[in-house]
């Protein structure tokens, strides 16, 4: 009886939390990209912190932020070895962030993945192990043993911010012998080319040279809304994952298979194999026909060019024909269209649009080329 009263007593203060989740519109902050042939495009952030290591929010907030951002998956990855709040939060169970977050995500569309940040001096620096079964087993003195344990649990492991200026003061990602060894032994599977507000060409080159999965994550400690100035149209960096289905299993498979593209600021970074199809699905030409004037039909084709992605696209015309109503470099804002007029010299039944996408990279300073076949409306 007393227990019951106590329960009632505590329950009496709970409604605040729940009622407060509902309010507030999302103001178009939901990040969305088209699927590509054979795969669905999942939006994920695999690096973030809570009060259970050095973050500033309870794990529940990470779930709510992710849902507002339209993410399909997050990994909660508190530091194992770094516990600055331990005076107040002396928790010993390193799975708690995951437990709390996944409880909040129950029956909602967000996949929560158990993870942790192995937090060491360089080398090897910091690394995230995700899809862990028991984080506690990685809480060991020797860093290599932690990586081994992660691998044993089947985790996907990636090097965090290899260009972090607090560890490499020149901000240049540099692979050490230790890293090469970890890679060789399958204990380093990916690398962040983007962390928070930073990007590294050198990290991208390492990913390509050593066949690592290209990752980009927020590493958020405070609030996503503030750090990326969401009311001004900013967004957190995310890793787009091309998966067979929306499940943790499928995400893991896709990560190991390196099927990712990173969306950072107004930039897309990824292997050509995935970035080109993503762009091809994003850029759609519609309603092509020839401009008419009082003097008859011209050989200027006009069409509506859509950007169906959440990244603005800076497109350089590399096709055969010049534009009539634009210079040869155009910016197509996210989820909008513009009218494009092409001087095709003669009336064609079909023609090709070719673009170099300048705000996308498949390697340092290398931009993907895409080709779109346009069929002219015949009446």
Pairing mode, strands 126-130 and 267-270: unpaired
Binding segment (CB under 8 A) for its own copies, from list 60-68, 127-135, 146-154, 243-251:
60-68
Query: Smallest distance from the beta carbon of 379 to its own copies, in angstroms?
Result: 18
| 372 CB-side CA count, 13 A | 26
Contact 359, 312 (CB under 8 A): yes
What are the φ and ψ backbone dihedral angles of 30, each rounded to 5 degrees? -65, 125
Binding segment (CB under 8 A) for its own copies, from list 34-42, 132-140, 148-156, 162-170:
162-170
Which residues ranging from 68 to 87 are in contact with its own copies (CB under 8 A)?
Answer: 68, 79, 82, 84-85
Nearer to its own copies, 7 or 152 (CB): 7
Distance CA 282, CA 33 (A): 8
Query: Smallest distance from the beta carbon of 75 to its own copies, in angstroms?
Result: 17
Q: What is the x/- site pattern for its own copies, positions 226-255, by CB under 8 A?
A: xxxxxxx-----------------------
Nearer to its own copies, 12 or 107 (CB): 12
Contact 53, 78 (CB under 8 A): yes
Contact 118, 143 (CB under 8 A): yes
Query: Smallest distance from the beta carbon of 134 to its own copies, in angstroms?
Result: 17
DSSP 361: E
Which residues ranging from 316 to 355 are in contact with its own copies (CB under 8 A)?
Answer: 316, 322-329, 331, 341, 343, 345-346
Distance CA 55, CA 48 (A): 8
Which residues ranging from 171 to 200 are in contact with its own copies (CB under 8 A)?
Answer: 171-172, 196-200
What DSSP assignment string belongs to 14-46?
A: -HHHHHHHH-S--TT-------BTTBEEEEEE-
Nearer to its own copies, 58 or 256 (CB): 58
Which residues ranging from 18 to 37 are in contact with its own copies (CB under 8 A)?
Answer: 20-21, 23-25, 27
Query: Applying CB under 8 A, does 201 fall inside the site for its own copies?
Result: yes
């Amino acid at each position: 009886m007393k227990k019951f009263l106590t329960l009632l007593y505590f329950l009496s203060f709970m409604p605040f939390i729940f009622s407060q989740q509902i309010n507030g519109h999302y103001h178009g902050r939901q990040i969305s990209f088209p699927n590509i042939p054979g795969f669905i495009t999942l939006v994920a952030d695999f690096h973030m912190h809570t009060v259970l290591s050095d973050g500033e929010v309870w794990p529940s907030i990470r779930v709510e932020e992710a849902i507002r951002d339209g993410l399909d998956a997050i990994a909660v990855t508190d530091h194992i070895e770094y516990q600055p709040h331990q005076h107040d939060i002396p928790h010993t169970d390193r799975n708690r962030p995951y437990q709390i977050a996944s409880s909040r995500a129950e029956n909602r569309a967000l996949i929560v993945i158990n993870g942790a940040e192995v937090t060491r001096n360089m080398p090897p620096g910091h690394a995230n192990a995700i899809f862990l079964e028991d984080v506690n087993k990685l809480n060991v003195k020797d860093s290599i043993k932690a990586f081994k344990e992660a691998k044993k649990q089947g985790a996907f492991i990636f090097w965090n911010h290899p260009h972090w200026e607090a560890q490499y003061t020149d901000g240049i990602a540099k692979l050490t012998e230790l890293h090469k060894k970890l890679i060789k032994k399958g204990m380093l599977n990916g690398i962040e080319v983007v962390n928070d507000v930073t990007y590294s060409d050198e990290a991208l080159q390492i990913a390509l040279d050593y066949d690592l999965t290209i990752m980009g994550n927020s590493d958020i400690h405070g609030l996503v809304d503030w750090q990326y100035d969401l009311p001004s149209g900013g967004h957190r960096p995310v890793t787009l994952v091309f998966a067979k289905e929306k499940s943790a299993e499928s995400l893991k498979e896709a990560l190991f298979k390196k099927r990712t593209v990173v969306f950072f600021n107004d930039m897309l970074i990824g292997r050509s194999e995935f970035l080109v199809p993503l762009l091809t699905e994003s850029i759609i030409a519609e309603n092509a026909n020839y401009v008419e004037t009082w003097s008859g039909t011209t050989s200027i084709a006009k069409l509506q060019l859509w950007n169906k992605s959440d990244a603005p696209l800076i497109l350089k015309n590399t096709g055969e024909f010049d534009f009539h109503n634009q210079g040869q470099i155009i910016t197509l804002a996210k989820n909008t269209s513009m009218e494009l007029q092409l001087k095709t010299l003669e009336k064609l039944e079909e023609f090709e649009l070719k673009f170099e996408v300048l705000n996308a990279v498949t390697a340092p300073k290398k931009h993907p080329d895409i080709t779109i076949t346009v069929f002219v409306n015949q009446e």
